[in-house]
Amino acid sequence: MIELELLIITKIIAALGRSKTFDQTGSARLPAKIWKDYRDIAVLTTMKSLDSKLYESYLVQSNVSPLLERFLSRYKQNEYSGILDDLKITYNDIESKLKINLMGISVS
C-alpha cells in the first residue's frame, strides 16, 4: 500500500503538471482533474495524521518544495477556495500541514 505522504506529494506533482498544461493549452478536460487533485490533497492532508519526517523526506527528494507556494496559492483562488469551505478547512490549516521548516527556513 502506498504511504499517505508519498500519495500527497504525487498528487501535488500531478496538480502542478496539469495546471501548467492547462495554462499552456487550455484543455477542457483538465480543470475537473485539477480540482479533484486539490480536493483529494485537502482531504488527505487534513483528515489524516501525517508522518512529518517522512513527508519532509519525500518533499525534498521530489524537488517539490520550491513549488509548494505556487501549489498552495491556488487554494486562495475562487475556483479552489470552495473546496476548503466545503470541507470546513481553512487555508491556514492546509498551509500549516503542507509547509515544513527545512533547516530553519520555511519552504515556500
Q: Where are the domains of the chain?
A: 4-106
Q: Ramachandran region of residue 43, left (φ > 0), alpha (ψ -120 to 50) or beta?
A: alpha
DSSP string, 39-65: HHHHHHHHHS---HHHHHHHHHHTT-G
28 C-beta neighbours (distance < 10 Å), count = 8
Q: What is the pLDDT of residue 107?
A: 43
Per-residue confidence at 106, pLDDT binned at 50, 70, 90?
very low
Give the model's confidence band at 29: pLDDT under 50 very low, under 70 low, under 90 confident, else very high: very high
Q: Which of 80, 97, 74, 91 is nearest to 36 (CA)?
A: 80
pLDDT tens-place string over residues 31-82 = 999 999 999 999 999 878 888 889 988 988 999 988 999 999 999 999 899 9
Report the C-alpha gap between 93 and 42 in whole angstroms: 9
pLDDT at 48: 80
Percent of all residues in the chain with a pLDDT value above 90, rounded to a whole number: 69
Looking at every residue in the chain, the average pLDDT score rounds to: 88
